[in-house]
Structure 1
């Protein structure tokens, strides 16, 4: 063994702590120098690289919308719900976990939706709409709320702003009429590099408003699969009324449909995530399933009238909203 000066050490010599530290430091310097000479390459897993976008014409995108729209006539689904209501008055957000739900839908505008609390499975809400009028029953508040689907106002409890037609708009994709609707395509790219096709759908303003076209909907398509992944709804003044997201498509006896749906209503300040657990499409549904009667103990609240002690403010209503 040699010492730090290169001289041979006598047999049985035990290096001191100082000698050991010097040797370790010298070794570390050599390793560091070697590492600096090596180029480091970060490899991205193939699963993280977005697939290339497919070529798609505007006509093909319109056909995609209309095919999905025509595929659904009725829906009977068992779902998991994750409603999140954020109070615009206090800034408090309350999330309801593990809510089981049941949804019935029949074209053109019939919907019933029930949400049940965890464990005990008592109803949190029960609501129906026929496209003209809606009814919403909140058992915990013993309120039976009735109103026209075109009437909107803000409530202290954002879940009181929950409307069945909001959910219907997300579940039933409205078709595009190439002879009547005005639309144009565009492309976008996500933060992870995935590409999207977008159809912007416009509508003419009523007579007396200079005949201007305003944005009504934006339909987003996954560039790789051409599945519809998002629909944004806009009001007459261009405000965003609703944002619906779609993912995890499955085939249900020939119906290609998303099993995860996210509904966001920025004006009413609530979000709702829907996970479809079981679904039957295009089966007959008895008409009485869409009837919701006021319980004798519930207070009837008509939203077209202002009630003493209620804070309310009108909000903008748009197409189908």
Structure 2
């Protein structure tokens, strides 16, 4: 028995001495030179400052839409097109898309916060009406598109005084597009949660992500009632549009429906006086109307 144990030890010696260990060089990620700290209360105040700073906006934009993914097994990218977005708190939205090259209207969509209308000009004039909340999902993901998605993505909602929040930290690894170096991006994740009725379970409502290099908001995840991410808004670097600083790009992702819309801001004005009729769509007489459930 001892002889067998001795032989077994001899077999283990190369492993213990490192003969079977292989070392390879990998790219080393760099930590930013400045990493800021903040408390949950300070970040809540920052969110509310952003929320309260803008009560309306008018923007000239470019849209780039795509749909599909692993579940569908294919992806489809649409031609980029120009358009306009009007927002007015508390929930008024209007989004106009223009036909590429011709710059005539392709669609006109508006909402008062409870009901929406979508006037499509191509391939023929027709109107889609329905609730701002999707009660019955369509197999066509673009039919599930609602104006409030733009509202919630472009303007972050305030954190109410009775909201419950948690603060965690995370670190993402990114590739510098110029130098191709790996960069570490430390982040704060501020989660707004709600208590499930009749239960002790806490369900996330949304998560606001801050980069710790300057404590700017870089992303917001909005959850549905089942705790799944419904909308992700990714904010590009801040740019100056006259006196206003605003993200140059906003990427809206809808992971459950597998589509995304990239909005590039070309011009923006905030805190304008926008009248009710600017959020009303005039339907031509005789236009077919399809009501969504």
TM-score by length of 1: 0.74
Correspondence for 1:296 among 282, 285, 290: 285
- The structure whose Rg is larger is 1
Correspondence for 1:201 among 164, 178, 192: 192
1:235-285 deviations in Å (ceiling 9; x for gaps): 111111111100121344654321210101122321000111000000111
Distance 1:119 1:175, change over 3 A: same
Give the match for residue 126 of structure 1: 108
Correspondence for 1:249 among 208, 218, 238: 238
Distance 2:231 2:33 in 1: 29
Give the match for residue 147 of structure 1: 130
Matched, 1:100 2:89: no
SS class of match (2:261)? strand
Correspondence for 1:190 among 160, 163, 172: 172
Greater strand proportion:
2
Q: Is the 8 A contact 2:65 2:80 kept in 1?
A: no
1:48-127 map, 5 Å: 50-86=32-68, 91-127=73-109
Q: How many residues align?
A: 259
Stretch deviating more after TM superposition (81-90 or 180-189):
81-90
SS class of match (1:140)? coil
Distance 1:251 1:57, change over 3 A: farther
Correspondence for 1:166 among 146, 149, 157: 149
Shift of 1:56: 1.2
Correspondence for 1:214 among 203, 209, 213: 203
Q: Is the 8 A contact 1:126 1:137 kept in 2?
A: yes
Distance 2:121 2:272 in 1: 30
Shift of 1:213: 2.2
Distance 2:147 2:79 in 1: 20
Distance 1:180 1:71 in 2: 21
Q: Is the 8 A contact 1:52 1:224 kept in 2?
A: yes
Q: Is the 8 A contact 2:223 2:231 kept in 1?
A: yes
Shift of 1:140: 1.5
Distance 1:50 1:99 in 2: 37
Correspondence for 1:276 among 227, 250, 265: 265
Instruction: Structure 2 unaligned segments of length 5 or more: list them.
Output: 1-24, 174-182
SS class of match (1:274)? strand
